[in-house]
Amino acid sequence: MENKVDIFDTTLRDGEQVPGCRLNTQQKVMIAKSLEELGVDIIEAGFPISSPGDFESVTEISKNVTNPIVCGLTRAVEKDIDCAVEALKFAKRPRIHTGLGTSDQHVFTKLKITREQVIERGVAAVKYAKKFIEDVEFYAEDAGRTDNEYLAKVIEAVINAGATVVNIPDTTGYCIPEEYGQKIKYLMENVPNIHKATISTHCHNDLGMATANSLSGVQNGARQVECTINGIGERAGNTSLEEVVMAIRKHKWLDFTTNIDATQIYPISVLVSETMNMPVQANKAIVGRNAFAHSSGIHQDGFLKNRDNYEIIAPEEVGVEKSSIVLTARSGRAALNHRIAVLGVELTKEELDIVYGKFLELADKLQVIGDKELKILLSTHLEKTLDF
Ligand code: KIV
Ligand code: ZN
């Protein structure tokens, strides 16, 4: 089995469903071009029937990107598919993403039809989409809570109808990694025609498990991961692209690869955050403000001796300029001395002891000591002329 994992970015579709994050066509085209540079394999450009704006964005993105597949979402409804086909007409490599709910919850309380009717509708939608576009992905919405035996029947039927990719969404972020991985394994072992399609993961983050679930899916046979930049998306968000890609890169023994140029990760994270007006939490893995900042004395000392003591990723690897040592009341002498040396001042051990005591007094009052405060501290408490 091939070990290349396709990265399907849905920042512009599932990600953009976040309240207050609506983008105009021009902004979406700009992000789509950056996604192409990043090296994603598939861009889900929007849900064309949902609004004239989304239709226009899918059309313009189709015109403006060359290498990635451009995908449009639909319900399992002919008019949605017609609309997506029209919006994708300029795409060099178009894909229709169609489907419906398969969990009892969705079948009986949302769709209000029978399980057999779900299969019929899914099959009909895939066959209809296939008349216009060869590449058709089917999603079994709420697959995370769908009984595996029934899910296998749905998946077998839609592959027979021509689905090239079968998406197994954990729509409500319900699963834990072992459970989600077992689901993918079950499909690999119990769907006779599964080798004719690629299995895709699409995990939401309601329990904070989206990245772990996606990786578990890949370890059990999935070869496409649906994700968003900064993990944005409905409620607690989607699987974060940067986390999946870096977890794969950092665990070479897993032997999976992606096409992603990791050095583009931080620049596109900033672009998405700024364009969508959606701040990234400071401790967000890989792209948060503190992801490469060291603030406690023990960590700073270890980091200064050898950065590998406290960093598993070099910041440059993901396009972050450099790591930082943040001086706080938890910092030690090593970090303080390092920062003072960066300012061009060499201290004796006795001088450092004096400055360190004064530094702690000030740091207890302030959150962070910057270069400005440090310079004042040095000029006030040392009996020598400093030339900053
Ligand atoms: O979470 C989900 O199930 C989805 C589908 C529409 C693919 O976003
Ligand atoms: Zn989703």
Backbone angles phi, psi at 130, to 5 degrees: -60, -20
Q: How far is the CA of 141 from the centre of ligand 1 (A)?
A: 6
Number of domains, the chain: 2
Structure tokens at 244: 């999946």
Q: Is the pLDDT of residue 17 over 90?
A: no
The verdict on 313 and 203 lying in the same domain is no
Q: Is 139 in the pocket of ligand 1 (CB under 6 A)?
A: yes
CA Rg value for the chain: 25
Tell which atom from ligand 1 comes closest to the C-alpha of 204. 1
The verdict on 311 and 375 lying in the same domain is yes
The verdict on 259 and 182 lying in the same domain is yes
The verdict on 144 and 199 lying in the same domain is yes
Confirm whether 286 is domain-assigned: no
- pLDDT tens-digit profile of 161-181? 999 999 999 999 999 999 999
Tell which atom from ligand 1 comes closest to the C-alpha of 226. 7
The verdict on 115 and 251 lying in the same domain is yes
Q: Indicate the pLDDT class of residue 37, thresholds 50, 70 and 90.
A: very high
The verdict on 297 and 345 lying in the same domain is yes
Spatial CB neighbours of 104, under 8 Å, sequence gap ≥ 6? 145, 146, 147
Ligand (nearest to CA of 233): 2
Question: Last residue of some domain: 275, 310, 345?
Answer: 275
From 50, 103, 139, the mutation candidate for ligand 1 (largest count of ligand atoms within 8 A of CB) is 139
Q: Would you give the DSSP letter of residue 191? A: -
User: Is residue 127 helix, strand or coil?
Assistant: helix
Taking each helix axis from N to C terminus, what angle separates 177-190 and 148-160, rounded to the nearest 10 degrees?
50
Confirm whether 287 is domain-assigned: no
The verdict on 260 and 297 lying in the same domain is no
Structure tokens at 105: 């919850």
Whole-prediction pTM: 0.95
Q: How far is the CA of 269 from the centre of ligand 1 (A)?
A: 22
Q: Whose CA is nearest to atom 1 of ligand 1?
A: 171
Q: Whose CA is nearest to atom 7 of ligand 1?
A: 139
Q: How far is the CA of 324 from the centre of ligand 2 (A)?
A: 35
The verdict on 347 and 250 lying in the same domain is no
Taking each helix axis from N to C terminus, what angle separates 241-250 and 210-219, rounded to the nearest 10 degrees?
50
Question: Last residue of some domain: 210, 244, 275?
Answer: 275
The verdict on 142 and 173 lying in the same domain is yes
Spatial CB neighbours of 280, under 8 Å, sequence gap ≥ 6? 230, 269, 273, 287, 288, 289
What CATH number should be reported for the domain holding residue 82?
3.20.20.70
Confirm whether 387 is domain-assigned: no
Confirm whether 318 is domain-assigned: yes
- pLDDT tens-digit profile of 212-267? 999 999 999 999 999 999 999 999 999 999 999 999 999 999 999 999 999 999 99
Backbone angles phi, psi at 95, to 5 degrees: -140, 140
The verdict on 357 and 270 lying in the same domain is no
Q: Is 169 in the pocket of ligand 1 (CB under 6 A)?
A: yes
**What is the average pLDDT across 186-206?**
98
Tell which atom from ligand 1 comes closest to the C-alpha of 13. 8
Are 328 and 356 within 8 A, CB to CB?
A: no
Ligand (nearest to CA of 142): 1
The verdict on 98 and 193 lying in the same domain is yes
- pLDDT tens-digit profile of 92-102? 999 999 999 99
**CA 215 from centroid of its chain's CA atoms:** 12
Tell which atom from ligand 1 comes closest to the C-alpha of 169. 3
Q: Is 14 in the pocket of ligand 1 (CB under 6 A)?
A: yes
Q: Whose CA is nearest to atom 6 of ligand 1?
A: 141
- What share of residues in the chain are helix, strand, coil (percent, to 5)? 50, 15, 35
Confirm whether 332 is domain-assigned: yes
pLDDT of residue 386: 74
The rounded distance, in Å, linking the Cα atoms of 388 and 379 is 10
Tell which atom from ligand 1 comes closest to the C-alpha of 143. 3
Taking each helix axis from N to C terminus, what angle separates 371-381 and 333-342, rounded to the nearest 10 degrees?
90
The verdict on 146 and 70 lying in the same domain is yes
pLDDT of residue 96: 98
Q: In sequence order, what DSSP letters do the residues of 346-361 get, joined into one string? A: ---HHHHHHHHHHHHH
- Domain with 298, as residue range(s), is 293-381
Q: How far is the CA of 56 from the centre of ligand 2 (A)?
A: 21
The rounded distance, in Å, linking the Cα atoms of 231 and 106 is 25
